[in-house]
Structure 1
Amino acid sequence: MEKKQRIKVKALSSNSQVKKLLLDKRYLIEDKLILKKEYLVNKQLTPVKNIFEFKNTSKANLEIKNVSKILDNRSIIKNVSLSVEPGKIVGLLGPNGCGKTTLYNLIVGKYFVDKGEILLNNKKIHDYPIYQRSRMGISLLEQHRGLLNNLTAFENLCAILELYIDDEVKIQKRANELLAKFNLDYLKHILARNLSGGEYRKCGILQRICNKNISVLLLDEPCAALDLISVNSLKQFILELKKSGISILITDHNYFLIEDILDKVYIMKEGQIITSGSTKQIEKDEKAIKYYLGQKISN
């Protein structure tokens, strides 16, 4: 029965929703979206053919060094430096419009830096195109982009897995493994449009870890518009990912929603990092209190 549910990426290549979904996988060459496996092979971007266990074999240290970016004659990112170590969850926090999403776009390669460097395991990648950074294990879950609503959770995973695995049986096996690993197999046959907010975000994250080389996961306000029960469930899900050694950078404008899972915090204001430290340090930091927290946190 599941054989009929396999999603053919090639057959869906004209669907605008699929184009948006596959854009997240960053298969771009000369600014053109690659939708067909045949083109991937011709460009020596052959999909991974072996099935893989969920474990991070390519732990990565992400470093941003003195990065600046001007967009539309406005200085959006100003001399920003930060780092994310393997198996750590780092918060990039600040009010809306402070530059968090733009910095994410610089990390994945949607924009190129004007000044500064982006390094992955001490290798400079800021001049690499989007698809190459994706193949190196950098993946982004954007706040307003996710699943195809007319497909089930299982079908959504299969659509992405086709980019990495060239065997139908193994694609279905891997999709089932991912759902079971994170106790989401009960969602298998539910259409994405019928998922709760928290379930939708979890399945979106599962899509991003379909890449066996996943080493850096960027989450753009994953807790936005979720109730507290869903937020707590999602945080436990993120902590499970941390155990694999993935470097996780998470943005949010509400510190109090995610502070208990953060190993380190960077506070942004008007395109700059104004302070950083552990959660305990941030809660006592005068700049963090003045420009972001609004109050000192008592123990």
Structure 2
Amino acid sequence: MLKLTDVSVNYGSFTAIKHVNIEVTEGEIVVLLGANGAGKSTTFRAISGINKLDNGEIYFQNRAIGGRAPDKNVQAGIVQCAEGRKLFPQMTVQENLRMGAYVHRRKKTEIKHSLENVYELFPILKEKHHHDAGSLSGGQQQMLAIGRALMSKPKLLMLDEPSVGLAPLIVEQMFQVIEEINREGITLLLAEQNANAALSIADKGYVFENGEIVVQGTANELLANDDVRKAYIGA
């Protein structure tokens, strides 16, 4: 479904990611691990079309998309849920969700169906659909951010640090939801610092350091890797 081949992105004279190679097969959950600043978010922005490629190419469903406008990527099914949620705090829950369906705004029946699916996945959002997004708890805001992304009807959903700042119980619930989304046929690419939780649901992963992939393998291989465990799991 997705392939990055020798991708590099520079911010001026600073190389943010260098010679990155990633493959994501349809139906997989793939996790990008690494500390803040390691290159995970830059990789996401490159896939979305927000960051220009300085080297390499990105393929989605066997088509080169490097340099394609972000809105065209969303229409093709590449949807990113950004770190920090990026909600519209003074708009209601339902208004935020409808913003996620902007590319499908003329398909009113589809939007209604998507809303019903999101509310089924996150019942608390239906309960609070008239509340301002800024009044929600951190966990509820993350649910809303994911729900808004789902309104775009993604084929590939990229979640950037979905567990950051959440209580352990909410983190556990969040990863259960991610698994459920995957079971519904959506391919997932996660950027996470919570390696243990992410690898427990992932098929495979890539470890970033200083903009480069230093380790890759199946989730079980990464969980068994002593260096990965010491650096990211604390064991």
TM-score when normalising by structure 2: 0.90
- Deviation of 1:292 after TM superposition, in Å, equals 4.3
How far, CA to CA, are the matches of 1:99 and 1:287 in structure 2? 19
- Say which of 22, 29, 40 aligns to 1:82: 22
Aligned partners of 1:199, 1:269: CA distance in 2, in Å? 31
Q: Distance in 2 between matches of 1:107 and 1:150?
A: 29
What's the counterpart of residue 117 of structure 2? Answer: 178
Give the C-alpha shift of residue 241 in structure 1: 0.9
Higher-Rg member (1/2): 1
Which residue is equivalent to 1:62? 2
Q: Write the distance in 1 (CA, Å) between the matches of 2:211 and 2:79.
A: 22
CA deviations on 1:131-183 (whole Å, 9 max, x unpaired) are 21111111111112432212221222223335413366x47733641333314
Report the AA paired with residue 208 of structure 1: A
Greater share of residues in strand = 2
Question: Partner of 2:44: helix, strand, or coil?
Answer: helix
User: Gaps (5+ residues) in structure 2?
Assistant: none
Q: 1:265 Cα shift?
A: 1.1
1:123 corresponds in structure 2 to 63
How far does residue 191 in structure 1 lie from its aligned partner after superposition? 2.2
Q: Which runs of 4+ in 1 moved over 4 A?
A: 289-294
The separation in 1 between residues aligned to 2:159 and 2:12, in whole angstroms, is: 25
Q: Is the 8 A contact 2:7 2:19 kept in 1?
A: yes
CA RMSD of superposed structures (Å): 2.0
What is the letter of the counterpart of residue 179 of structure 1? V
Maintained 8 Å contact 2:3/2:60: yes
Which residue matches 2:190?
Answer: 250
Shift of residue 291, structure 1, vs aligned partner: 5.0
Partners in 1 of 2:6 and 2:225 — Cα distance? 22
The offset of 1:200, in angstroms, is 1.0
Structure 1 unpaired stretches of 5+:
1-60
Deviations 1:276-298 (A, max 9, x none): 11222112325434654454xxx
Q: Aligned-pair distance for 1:233?
A: 1.2
Identity %: 29
- With 225-234 and 245-254 compared, the bigger mean Cα shift is at 245-254
**Which position in structure 1 is the counterpart of 2:141?**
200
**Which of the numbers 203, 222, 225 marks the counterpart of 1:285?**
225
In proportion to residue count, which structure has more helix?
Answer: 2
Aligned partners of 2:99 and 2:148 also within 8 Å: no
The CA deviation string for residues 185-216 of structure 1, in whole angstroms up to 9 with x for no partner, is 2232332122221221111111112123x111
Do structure 1's residue 114 and structure 2's residue 46 form an aligned pair?
no
Deviation at 1:244, TM superposition (A): 2.2
Give the counterpart of 1:143 among 58, 61, 83: 83
Please, which of 116, 123, 132 is the counterpart of residue 191 of structure 1? Answer: 132
Secondary structure of the corresponding residue to residue 106 of structure 1: helix
In the other structure, the counterpart of 1:223 is 163
The one-letter code matched in structure 2 to 1:209 is L
Q: Size of the alignment, in residue pairs? A: 233
2:136 maps to amino acid: L
What residue in structure 2 maps to residue 47 of structure 1? Answer: none
Instruction: Give the whole-Å Cα distance in 2 for the aligned partners of 1:156 and 1:83.
Output: 32
